């Protein structure tokens, strides 16, 4: 019985252990299958293919292709994760260990390393469309140059098999391919229609046109290198793909195409709203600039106010000494053409006035003085209070009449200030005047000028009388002349005060007139006849001699024209000031235009240039002479022998004729020596091959001597003095 029981127990234990062992075997069998069934796979896809494959806001790879693959894989019991191809082409991606399968393929292709691939069943038919730059008629697909994306290399191969005549050029990005299309490097671009439907929403691609007539479809498959493992995998995927029905595919496609809005990138915003953005920027910049200018203006205004306070005398309102110095300096610098004088003015016994009448009366007197003076000053003049009763005035030189009117309108009322107010006291004003010299315009030193004026004021004071005195009376005379001559020139040229006279030039041997020199004459309305020797240097100093000269040249051309018309072909020399040859003015062109205007031959107008022009600017002088002679003008050196004639100049300056000035004979020197000089100068000039004319011939001895030595052209009082045009015309 015990034996039987033991047997039963052993059997029971054995049964239990068999049961347990069988269970554990079953368990281990199940996990191996699951391992095989639930394999997760990595799918390599491009990510620049919205809406087929792209990265969404949560940084996940999504799109039509991703959705279909996920659905098929799920059905096949596979877990799928997507990974970007990261710039690899499909062929390269096939070889990569990183991906189990790669998408999308139109057909099986050879990998980059030359291995064969296998592909899944078709997920869907994807339409491919050609796009052109603007409306274009394309010939048959077989002859086209087509641009595609590099990452579409697989599809490109499929297309190439379909259309062997098509030239396919691959580009790195959509932007590159569009650029190539626009530059006519390809006829059209080929791409998945879904991608186009998204990409063509880009504003700057608005002129790309879809060619619906040239559409074809391709398969959309996943692929892997052809090996046994992958065949199992592809098989599985195919089972999954076979479960995807058409409705599902349609709804996924719709979801990612029409329902997805194109998203603008920065470039799109710039393209679309560029002008508005530009205008906004311009507006902001303008506001900033205006604000800055306003602040600057305000600052300047404040500074001016402050300066005014510093530079103004608080009692009288005229400038303080500092202010006067600045303003006077500025006026002189900016108006070198204005002849100025500066005066130092002082009231005699001002202390006595203050003591006897009180400070208030003293102040009133000063205010009265300044108000009278300011009323007579122009904007080019200025007054300042030096100290106490001393005033400085910078005034334009107006001549004696202006001095008189100042005396009447300003000085006399001040003199009678107290008398006019019922008090028995006549004021004495002493003034010293300094007239500015040309040097003062170059080195402006107001204090120095005022010192000179003060010296003159002291001279007046010493006489114990009032009135004014000049520090430099000769400069005053000159200053008055400048005003009367230079300022009056424009009027004189118009009014006929200035005339052109002619002094005949003769050939002494032949006894006939061969030409004339034009000399200007000024019959001044106030000064009467004034000599060119007086007014020409003044006009030169003022820089306006060219106005006079141009007038003379034009008058001469008019006369020559008139004489030509009368059948009288005459020759006239005109004078050039050294200032007529200057930078920025082509004197030769000027003369050429002038003779053309009056239909005068160039050889009729002869040009006299003084030696001094050579000293000023030899290079410009020589260039001007060469050009004048090229035009056909005869060029003469004037006053040879009277100045500092230089043999160097004679060698360097290529002129036609020398005008030998006999004035040097009029000195007290030895006549014999003078004659010897003339004899050799004539020989020298002839040997140099130049013509010669002697001017300033006053006696028959001189004429005979010159003729004897070989100089027969002459000009001088012995023959004719300068004469009016009418007198000159009568000579012929």
**Residues that bind Mg ion in the complex, under the rule CB under 5 A:** 575, 608, 638-639
Total residues at the site for ligand C2E (CB under 6 A)?
Answer: 23
Compare residues 592 and 715 and give the one whose CB is closer to ligand C2E. 715
Sign of the torsion formed by the C-alpha atoms of 332, 333, 334 and 339: positive
532 touches ligand C2E (CB under 6 A): yes
Q: Is 533 in the site for ligand C2E (CB under 6 A)?
A: yes
Q: Which of 536, 581, 600, 711 binds ligand C2E (CB under 6 A)?
A: 536
Q: Which residues in 652-709 belong to E strands, given as ranges?
A: 657-661, 691-695
DSSP string for residues in 614-625: HHH-HHHHHHHH
Residue 61 in 3-state DSSP? Answer: strand
Query: 457 vs 608, which CB is nearer to Mg ion?
Result: 608
Stretch touching ligand C2E by CB under 6 A, among 313-321, 455-463, 545-553, 672-680: 545-553
Q: CA 435 to CA 394: how far, in whole Å?
A: 10
The CB-of-619 to Mg ion minimum distance in angstroms stands at 23
Residue from 132, 343, 575, 712 touching ligand C2E (CB under 6 A): that is: 575
Q: Which of 133, 608 has the CB closer to Mg ion?
A: 608
Using left for φ > 0, alpha for ψ between -120 and 50, and beta otherwise, residue 632 falls in left
3-state secondary structure of 211: strand
Contacting residue, 696, 703, 712, 728, with ligand C2E by CB under 6 A: 696
Residue 712 binds which one of ligand C2E, Mg ion, none, with CB within 5 to 8 A depending on kind? none
Helix, coil or strand: residue 348: coil
Cα–Cα distance, 196 to 655 (Å, whole number): 85
Residue with Cβ nearer ligand C2E (452 or 720): 720
- Our finding on whether 552 is near ligand C2E (CB under 6 A) is yes
Per-residue x/- marks for ligand C2E, 478-517, CB under 6 A? -------------------------x--------------
Instruction: Give whichever of 203 and 532 is closer to ligand C2E, judged by the CB atom.
Output: 532
x/- track of binding to ligand C2E for residues 710-729 (CB under 6 A):
-----xxx----x-------
* Minimal distance, residue 575 CB to Mg ion, in Å: 5
Which residue, 370 or 505, has its beta carbon nearer to ligand C2E?
Answer: 505
Say whether residue 645 binds ligand C2E (CB under 6 A).
no
| 188 lines the binding site for ligand C2E (CB under 6 A) | no
Check: CB of residue 146 under 8 Å from CB of residue 189.
yes
Of 1-9, 104-112, 453-461, 693-701: span binding ligand C2E (CB under 6 A): 693-701
User: In the block, which residue shows the tokens 């098929």?
Assistant: 72
User: Greatest CA span in the chain, whole angstroms?
Assistant: 194
Are the C-beta atoms of 502 and 519 separated by less than 8 Å? Answer: yes
Round to whole Å and give the CA distance between 359 and 370: 17
Query: How far apart are the C-alpha atoms of 580 and 588, rounded to whole Å?
Result: 11
Nearest-approach distance from CB 621 to ligand C2E, in angstroms? 15
For ligand C2E, give the closer residue by CB, 399 or 532. Answer: 532
Least distance (Å) between residue 374 CB and ligand C2E:
42
698 makes contact, choosing from ligand C2E, Mg ion, none, with CB < 5 to 8 Å by partner type, with ligand C2E
Rounded to the nearest whole angstrom, what is the least distance from the CB of residue 666 to ligand C2E in the complex?
A: 7
Cα–Cα distance measured from residue 307 to residue 578, given in angstroms and rounded to the nearest whole number? 45
Q: Are strands 634-640 and 657-661 parallel, antiparallel or unpaired?
A: parallel
3-state secondary structure string, 176-204? HHHHHHHCCCCCEEEEEHHHHHHHCCCHH
Structure tokens, 250: 């349609």
Number of neighbouring beta carbons within 10 Å of residue 149: 24
Q: Name the site residues for ligand C2E (rule: CB under 6 A).
A: 503, 519-520, 531-533, 536, 545, 549, 552, 575, 577, 608, 638-639, 695-698, 715-717, 722
């Amino acid at each position: 019985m015990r034996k039987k029981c033991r047997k039963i127990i052993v059997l029971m234990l054995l049964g239990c252990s068999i049961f347990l062992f069988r269970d554990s075997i079953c368990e281990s069998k199940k996990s191996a299958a699951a391992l095989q069934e639930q394999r997760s796979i990595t799918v390599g896809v491009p990510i620049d293919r919205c809406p087929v494959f792209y990265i969404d806001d949560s940084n996940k790879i999504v799109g039509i292709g991703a959705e279909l693959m996920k659905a098929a894989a799920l059905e096949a019991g596979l877990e799928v994760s997507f990974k970007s191809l990261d710039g690899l082409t499909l062929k390269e991606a096939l070889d990569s260990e990183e991906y189990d399968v790669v998408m999308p393929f139109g057909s099986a292709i050879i990998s980059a390393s030359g291995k064969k691939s296998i592909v899944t069943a078709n997920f869907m038919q994807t339409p491919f469309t050609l796009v052109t730059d603007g409306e274009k008629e394309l010939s048959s697909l077989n002859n086209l140059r087509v641009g595609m994306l590099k990452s579409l290399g697989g599809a490109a191969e499929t297309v190439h098999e379909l259309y062997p005549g098509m030239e396919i050029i691959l580009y790195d990005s959509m932007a590159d391919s569009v650029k190539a299309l626009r530059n006519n490097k390809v006829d059209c671009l080929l791409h998945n229609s879904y991608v186009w439907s998204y990409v063509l929403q880009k504003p700057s691609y608005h002129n790309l046109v879809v060619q619906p007539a040239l559409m074809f479809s391709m398969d959309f498959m996943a692929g892997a290198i052809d090996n046994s493992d992958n065949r199992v995998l592809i098989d599985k995927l195919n089972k999954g793909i076979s479960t995807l029905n058409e409705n599902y595919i349609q709804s996924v496609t719709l979801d990612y195409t029409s329902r997805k809005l194109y998203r603008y990138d920065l470039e799109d915003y710039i393209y679309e709203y560029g002008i508005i953005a530009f205008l906004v920027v311009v507006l902001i910049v303008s506001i900033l600039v205006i604000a800055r200018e306003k602040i600057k203006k305000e600052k300047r205004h404040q500074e001016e106010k402050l300066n005014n306070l510093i530079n103004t005398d608080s009692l009288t309102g005229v400038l303080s000494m500092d202010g006067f110095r600045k303003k006077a300096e500025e006026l002189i610098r900016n108006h070198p053409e204005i002849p100025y004088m500066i005066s130092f003015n002082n009231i005699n016994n001002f202390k006595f006035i203050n003591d006897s009448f009180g400070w208030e009366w003293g102040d009133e007197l000063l205010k009265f003085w300044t108000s009278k003076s300011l009323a007579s000053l122009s904007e080019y003049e200025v007054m300042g209070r030096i100290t106490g009763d001393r005033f400085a005035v910078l005034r334009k030189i107006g001549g004696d009449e202006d001095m008189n009117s100042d005396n009447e309108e300003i000085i006399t009322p001040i003199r009678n200030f107290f008398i006019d107010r019922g008090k028995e006291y006549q004021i004495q004003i002493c003034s010293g005047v300094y007239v500015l010299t040309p040097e003062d315009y170059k080195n402006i030193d107001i204090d120095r000028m005022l010192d000179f004026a003060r010296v003159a004021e002291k001279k007046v004071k010493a006489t114990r009388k009032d009135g004014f005195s000049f520090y430099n009376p000769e400069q005053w005379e000159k200053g008055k002349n400048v005003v009367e001559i230079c300022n009056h020139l424009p009027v004189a040229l118009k009014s006929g005060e200035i005339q052109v006279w002619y002094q005949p030039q003769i050939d002494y041997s032949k006894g006939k007139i061969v030409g004339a020199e034009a000399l200007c004459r000024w019959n001044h309305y106030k000064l009467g006849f004034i000599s060119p020797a007086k007014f020409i240097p003044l006009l030169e100093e003022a820089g306006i001699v060219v106005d006079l000269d141009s007038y003379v040249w034009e008058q001469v051309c008019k006369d020559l024209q008139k004489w030509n018309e009368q059948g009288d072909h005459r020759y006239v020399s005109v004078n050039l000031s050294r200032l007529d040859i200057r930078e920025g003015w082509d004197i030769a062109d000027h003369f050429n235009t002038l003779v053309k205007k009056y239909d005068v031959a160039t050889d009729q107008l002869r040009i006299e240039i003084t030696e001094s022009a050579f000293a000023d600017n030899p290079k410009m002088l020589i260039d001007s002479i060469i050009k004048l002679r090229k035009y056909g003008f005869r060029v003469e050196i004037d006053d040879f022998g009277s100045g500092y004639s230089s043999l160097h100049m004679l060698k360097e300056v290529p002129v036609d004729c020398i005008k030998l000035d006999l004035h040097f004979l009029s000195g007290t020197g030895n006549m014999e020596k003078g004659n010897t000089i003339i004899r050799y100068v004539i020989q020298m000039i002839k040997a140099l091959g130049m013509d010669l004319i002697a001017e300033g011939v006053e006696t028959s001895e001189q004429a005979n001597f010159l003729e004897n030595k070989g100089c027969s052209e002459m000009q001088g009082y012995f023959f004719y003095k300068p004469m009016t045009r009418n007198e000159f015309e009568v000579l012929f």
